[in-house]
Chain A
Amino acid sequence: MRLPVRICLLGLTLLAFLTLQTGSYAQDIRPIIDEFAAAKSFKKVEAVIDKLAAAGDPAAAVSLRALSEGRLKFKKNDGSVFITIEDAGEFALQDPLTGNAVPTDGATAKDFKKVKVKNSIRRKIAAVLSGMTLQAKDKSQRLAGAETIFNTSDVSALPALEAAIDKETDDDVKQAFLDAQASAILASKREVSEKLAAVARIEARGDRASLALLSKFLASSEGELATRISGAIEGIESVQALWANAQNIWYGISLGSVLLLAAIGLAITFGVMGVINMAHGEMVMLGAYTTFTVQQAFSLYFPALMPFALLFALPAAFLVSGLVGLIMERGLISRLYGRPLETLLATWGVSLILQQTVRTIFGATNREVSNPSWMSGAFELGQISITWNRLWIVVFALAVFAALYFIINRTSLGLDMRAVTQNRRMAGAMGIRTSWVDAMTFALGSGIAGIAGVALSQIGNVSPNLGQSYIIDSFLVVVFGGVGNLWGTLVGAMSLGILNKFMEPYAGAVLGKVIILVLIILFIQKRPRGLFALKGRAVEQ
């Protein structure tokens, strides 16, 4: 009952809208907008939206959009309605009709109260707006309008949509309009032949939204149309199944890159030096907290550079974690070489100390590390949706790997490192300061862990416990990949990531993890030195 009324109303709106396109508007909508101030319940807000829609003035789009975003507010003392902009302590007002800036006259955010809005109202606004914005200047608004009509199969929008299709010059938008038209046709009372063509168009689109749409209409259609729709659903599903595999591989690579980042510092301290560093996770955590501190500093002193704060956090995190690593190595670990059990206990103690120190300084609760805009959202590649933050982390992990590989194989520090780990006494005899190399190696591994913390702060929590969640996985990767081999760490991380992601849909996240642990235990039984075992005399020591 509710739906037809709504559709009728929308139809009326659009009719009014179309006739009014040419002439002046029948009534000024400002008094209607002002009614929002008196709308204390959701029902009343909806009633005002209906009135605005019935008035049909596309100028209402400005205030409706603001309402949907929760920015439409009214002054508590006189009930005048404004659009507010609050950004980092700044407060500004806009006219709800024109969107032009108006002076605040000393009013602050506290003098205003928000017009109430909830999900169902947001959906209603989207439906009203979709009709109004089909001929908007802004391409993204036209696309959003088309998408709403596509998802809701709004029949009443058909005339306006078809008028807009003829005028549309942008090809992307035109395609979106045609999709939306096909969706609306399915809901309309038009000829079966037209509907069949619409089904074909939606099948060609082939994404999840199309699948949802067709499934919705399958139940209500019959005869030839029903067979055609179920055929189309099958077609889309089989294509989707193929893409799902590609998607899984991507998720695996992405998880692998996170594992790689977490483990790569450990590959140096544990893999190359043989130090069982239980405080490795805390080095990652320090990196994440450094990111937080740098971002805080930037938002205070250089707000304009905020999007690039992460780039500055990288060297800072490297230095902080590296320095802590250096102090740890000199003060503690260097005294415990050759005593792995004591090292394990001592570093575990250090990890607890670091956690509690951070908890005391920054508090026990999560700290907010913001994502720069270039790391938010997703894009579609075929039917795979790839999120930007994951993509950047994959790129970043590979870059860190390459840099580390270069350092170890092409620099003199790397040469010293390899010499010391392969034969400490011989290296010492050749004049290498082995203890200095140890310190530098450990600092490098810790610094890399700090850098990893910068990246991991973008996808997870920044809390004192951050390190703990990565330490076990890190050791798994290094042991699985082969101790003392960077390539092993890369391959180990990627294969664990992809294996995990292929297991997850079948076994679930909990059981998947268990199965992987069991598989690794079996693997280590068979090949105790991991995937890429070091060969030669160095191994025997």
Chain B
Amino acid sequence: MTNLTRRAMLLASAATLGATMTLGAAAFAADTIKVGVLHSLSGTMAISETTLKDAMLMLIEEQNKKGGLLGKKLEPVVVDPASDWPLFAEKARELISASEVDAVFGCWTSVSRKSVLPVFKELNSVLFYPVQYEGEESERNVFYTGAAPNQQAIPAVDYLLEEEEVERWVLAGTDYVYPRTTNKILEAYLKAKGVADEDIMINYTPFGHSDWQTIVSDIKKFGAAGKKTAVVSTINGDANVPFYKELGNQGVKASDIPVVAFSVGEEELAGFDTAPLVGHLAAWNYFQSVEAPENAEFIEKWKAFTSPDRVTNDPMEAHYIGFNMWVKAVEKAGTTDPDAVIDAIVGVEVPNLTGGISKMLPNHHITKPVLIGEIQADGQFEVVSQTDGLVPGDAWSDFLPESKPLKADWVDLKCGNYNTETNTCLGADS
């Protein structure tokens, strides 16, 4: 009996507390612009996404120091979708309908993005997606500030072809949509470059794969055919640490078989000793080591906002660009209304952190430089190659027959998948 009353009391007090908090927020909401942050703070993806939540909080704080937006303060609304894909959709709905945010920055992995997509369409809001992805998508409500395959994978393969004169390829990835689509594009690209079937080995592993002995030894075997061999890795997240540890221990040296990775950045390298991995590569649009005044300022602020041993990485830069673009578009439109912002943001130019100016394109992707970096002993990357100018993001790959004729243009065509052969917009059904 006493137990029950105590529990009831507790519930009641919790409810009151919750009510006061909502009331407080509501009272505050009148003179603020709300920005939703939709990143997992628990579960498997927390390892990557927590950093982005911190980055967003910092960017919003910075903007408020500069006087906010349209004379109002920005207010972050942080929710935790807990690495659970259906929960992403629920939390997105909560952000847009209940908290009434004007834009959402978030998601990591394509499956989370695909899960929230219907919500953003239905409630007509704006999502900024900061992570490199497989392309083959362009939606009116989504802005893709991460790299499309032509801004990461293709230039990386070009580098290996030209600089390292690679003839044999291992495409290793985690078994889900991003690696599978990227590898499909890469395979088509390599074959177009004259690489034979038997010189391409494709390998998929489950999420969080931890025993890499067989695969690393297979890679060594594949590399012992008298031709220069390289590994293109789309291995994601947690599985990278054991993979690189095994590479180091089995003595796969970068000068013999270089590994170029698309999902390994400064954050991932913070988890282990990189001395045996010096020379392995990564392709990104940003490295912490890039020397540019904007970058130095950003790193300084980041370290002051979090702690001195934290590193910056590519998706953080994507949020930096995306957030500043949104701010500019809102200023240009004079309102936070999603329709006005979606129209205003195309063509907006903001400085990126590598010394260039990124621009939002009609296909809702942005222009970015492509950098190839070598892993250093201190866990940072050193840039060994950089594209001459900025590369515009291509939503539909030219190397896949089914997506070659497609084009995305939300300004003139008002369509995300316009078929240039039949001159029709395929629309939402395909």
Contacts and interface: CB of A to CB of B under 8 A. Distances in A.
Contacts of B241: 366, 460-461
B384 interface: yes
Nearest to B217: A247
B63 interface: no
B271 A387 contact: no
A368 B270 contact: yes
Contacts of A377: 249, 251
B373 to A, nearest CB: 10
Interface in A336-383: 352, 355-356, 359, 363-371, 376-378
B214 A462 contact: no
A390 B213 contact: yes
A69 B279 CA distance: 10
A215 B226 CA distance: 5
Contact of A461 (B41, B238, B251): B238
A251 B42 contact: no
A101 interface: no
Contact of A465 (B238, B268, B374): B238
Contacts of B254: 119, 122
A376 B256 CA distance: 19
B362 interface: no
Interface string A249-283: 00100110010000000000000000000000000
Nearest to A209: B224
Nearest to A465: B44
A509 B270 contact: no
A206 to B, nearest CB: 12
B218 interface: yes
Contacts of B343: none
B279 A118 contact: yes
Contact of A365 (B41, B44, B51, B217): B51
The number of chain A residues touching the other chain, given as a range, is 35 or more
A459 B271 CA distance: 12
A523 interface: no
B223 interface: yes
Contact of B44 (A208, A462, A468, A508): A468
12 contacts: A116-B384, A118-B384, A208-B221, A208-B224, A216-B226, A216-B227, A254-B211, A258-B210, A368-B271, A376-B248, A460-B245, A464-B46
B403 interface: no
Given A371-B273, A390-B249, 7 more contacts: A70-B376, A114-B382, A119-B279, A254-B213, A366-B238, A461-B241, A461-B271
B203 interface: yes
Given A364-B41, A365-B271, A461-B238, A119 B255 contact: yes
Nearest to B49: A364
A195 B268 CA distance: 48
A120 interface: yes
A510 B348 CA distance: 44
A31 interface: no
Interface in B275-320: 276, 278-279
A366 B270 contact: yes
Interface in A106-152: 114, 116, 118-120, 122-123, 126, 151
A251 B226 CA distance: 26
B208 interface: yes
Nearest to B372: A118
A126 B215 CA distance: 28
B187 interface: no
B238 A387 contact: no
Query: Which interface class (under 10, 10 to 19, 20 to 34, 35 or more) fits B?
Result: 35 or more
Interface string A54-69: 0000000000000001
Contacts of B214: 248, 251, 501, 504-505, 509
B213 to A, nearest CB: 4
A211 B224 contact: yes
Main secondary structure of the interface of A (DSSP, over half): helix
A389 B221 contact: no
Interface of B: 41-44, 46-47, 49-51, 163-164, 175, 203-206, 208-211, 213-215, 217-218, 220-221, 223-227, 238, 241-242, 245-246, 248-251, 254-256, 258, 267-268, 270-273, 276, 278-279, 374, 376-377, 382, 384
Given A216-B226, A510-B204, A510-B205, A370 B271 contact: no
A463 B271 contact: yes
Q: Please give me the 7 A-B residue pairs with the lowest Cβ-Cβ distance, nearest first.
A: A366-B271, A216-B226, A215-B226, A364-B50, A208-B224, A387-B249, A212-B224
Given A119-B255, A364-B50, A501-B214, A509 B279 contact: no
A425 interface: no
Contacts of A368: 270-273
Contacts of B278: 69-70
Nearest to B40: A364
A169 interface: no
A214 interface: yes
A42 B208 CA distance: 37
A509 B205 contact: yes
A209 B242 CA distance: 25
Contacts of B271: 365-368, 461-463
Contacts of A216: 226-227
B223 A212 contact: yes
Nearest to B50: A364
A114 to B, nearest CB: 8
Given A70-B278, A126-B255, A385-B250, A356 B224 contact: no
A251 B217 CA distance: 10
A69 B278 CA distance: 9
A355 B254 CA distance: 36
A258 B209 CA distance: 13
Given A355-B42, A385-B250, A469-B238, A120 B163 contact: yes
Given A366-B270, A460-B210, A42 B226 contact: no
B230 to A, nearest CB: 10
Given A463-B238, A508-B203, A122 B255 contact: yes
Nearest to B229: A212
Contacts of B164: 119-120
A443 B407 CA distance: 62
B218 A461 contact: no
A371 B258 CA distance: 23
A459 to B, nearest CB: 6
A446 B190 CA distance: 51
A212 B248 CA distance: 21
Contacts of A114: 382
B382 A116 contact: yes
A396 interface: no
Contact of A364 (B47, B211, B213, B225): B47
Contacts of B43: 465
B268 A366 contact: yes
A501 B164 CA distance: 32
A356 B246 CA distance: 29
A148 to B, nearest CB: 10
B349 to A, nearest CB: 29
Nearest to A219: B226
Interface in A491-515: 500-501, 504-505, 508-510, 513
A487 interface: no
Nearest to B307: A363
A378 B279 contact: no
A444 B94 CA distance: 45
A388 interface: yes
A370 B217 CA distance: 23
A459 B213 CA distance: 11
A213 interface: yes
